[in-house]
Amino acid sequence: MSTLQNKIDFAVIFRVTNANPNGDPLNGNRPRTDYSNYGEMSDVSIKRKIRDRLLERWIDTGRNDDGNMIFVQSDDRKADDAKNLRERYKKGLNESAGLDEIISAATKRWFDVRAFGQVFPFKGNKKPAKKEASEDSGDGDTGVSIGIRGPVSIQPAISVSEIEIKTIQITKSTSLEGDGINRQADQMGTKHSLEGSFIYVFYGSMNPQLAEKTGFSDADAEAIKQVLPRLFENDEAAARPAGSMEVLKVIWWKHNCKAGQYSSAKVHATLDRKSIKADGSYELATLDNLIPEEVDGF
């Protein structure tokens, strides 16, 4: 299978209504904001949802084979019995192989490694022969620290307007510890969400040069394109009730060459975040000989 033959840029416009799209653990799990009070959703969170949708798709279609496996699986959506990433790595790869063989095997086996890259910072199982043995001595730890750079990059999602956050008080009336007889009085807590509906947008790109190093193919790019309109399906949680997050539009620019007809900055600028309206409608500037495909959300 040939690797990605055309540079691809893309953008996703979505709506969040009375939900917390991505809580900030350093701020009481309130919805993330920048210093100008625009809402944020981290690229890590977006990649997590892409991985989950891909994994669901492979399982549903019976194609959860080597080339479509997901390495970074969340605990509640696992397709194997690995307890952690180290265990999944050991079961999937031959640790005694050389560096190039490990990289080749990892990118062939796991879709997300092939797409987003991955760092394998695992310690070895052998104990140092001497306490004073250094990393450069040739003794001791035989761990692996491998970095793979993926061709698919995704930016954080930013709201098109300043957001408003609603905080409500909640109570917990169950016993957290003990035998339940000497139960404490109801404990107070808080829950945060956006107050109303707000539009967000994020941008991404696929680099054919980096795809050559990981084996990322045109079929892999198409798989991501297929799941982007369904990014928030089957992703319900207490902070994100069903239907509270909805993809409105996926915009897909496919260049006619590997190097790209224009820089990603120029392509993304044709969808100016400030030009996107509160109802999700937008205006696209044009670039000569680069016509975007506009795909409706699921």
Whose CA is closest to 202, among 160, 157, 165? 157
**Structure token digits, residue 57:** 């798709």
Q: Which percentage of the chain shows pLDDT scores above 70? A: 85
pLDDT at 97: 81
Average pLDDT, the chain: 88
Which of 143-157, 177-191, 219-233 is predicted with the least confidence, judged by mean pLDDT?
177-191
pLDDT at 175: 61
Q: Do residues 247 and 298 make contact, with C-beta atoms less than 8 angstroms apart?
A: yes
pLDDT for 133-165, tens place per residue?
444 444 444 566 889 999 999 999 999 999 999
Q: Report the alpha-carbon distance of residue 40 to residue 227 in Å, rounded.
A: 21
Give me the mean pLDDT over the 90-102 stretch: 85
pLDDT at 65: 67
Q: Report the alpha-carbon distance of residue 172 to residue 174 in Å, rounded.
A: 6
pLDDT at 134: 43
For the CA atoms of the chain, what is the radius of gyration? 22
pLDDT at 127: 52
From the number of C-beta atoms within 10 Å of its C-beta (0-12, 13-18, 19+), residue 284 rates as: middle
The residue assigned the tokens 């959300």 is: 297
pLDDT at 198: 98
pLDDT at 140: 45
pLDDT at 143: 61
pLDDT at 145: 81
**Angle between the N-to-C axes of helices 85-92 and 99-109, in degrees from 0 to 180, rounded to the nearest 10:** 100
* Alpha-carbon torsion (135, 138, 139, 142), positive or negative: positive
Residues 6+ apart with CB under 8 A from 182: none
Q: Please, what is the Cα angle at 168 between 162 and 174, to 5 degrees?
A: 145
**Structure token digits, residue 11:** 């953008």
Give me the mean pLDDT over the 234-250 stretch: 95
DSSP conformation letters of 213-269: HHT-BHHHHHHHHHHGGGTTTT--BTTB-TTSEEEEEEEEEE-SSSS-SS-HHHHHH
pLDDT for 191-223, tens place per residue?
999 999 999 999 999 999 999 999 999 999 999
Which of 17-31, 97-111, 168-182, 212-226 is predicted with the least confidence, judged by mean pLDDT?
168-182
Give me the mean pLDDT over the 40-62 stretch: 91
Q: For residue 170, what pLDDT band results from cuts at 50, 70 and 90?
A: confident
Q: Which percentage of the chain shows pLDDT scores above 90? A: 68
**Structure token digits, residue 214:** 């990981």
pLDDT at 34 > cutoff 60: yes
Q: Measured between alpha carbons, how far is residue 60 from residues 21, 113, 246, 293 in Å?
A: 26, 21, 22, 27
Whose CA is closest to 239, among 193, 170, 199? 193
pLDDT for 54-67, tens place per residue?
999 888 776 666 67
Q: Do residues 50 and 231 make contact, with C-beta atoms less than 8 angstroms apart?
A: yes
pLDDT at 64: 61
More confident residue, 142 or 19: 19
pLDDT for 104-132, tens place per residue?
999 999 999 999 999 987 766 555 445 44
Residues 6+ apart with CB under 8 A from 35: none
Q: Report the alpha-carbon distance of residue 160 to residue 276 in Å, rounded.
A: 7
pLDDT at 174: 65
Residues 6+ apart with CB under 8 A from 274: 160
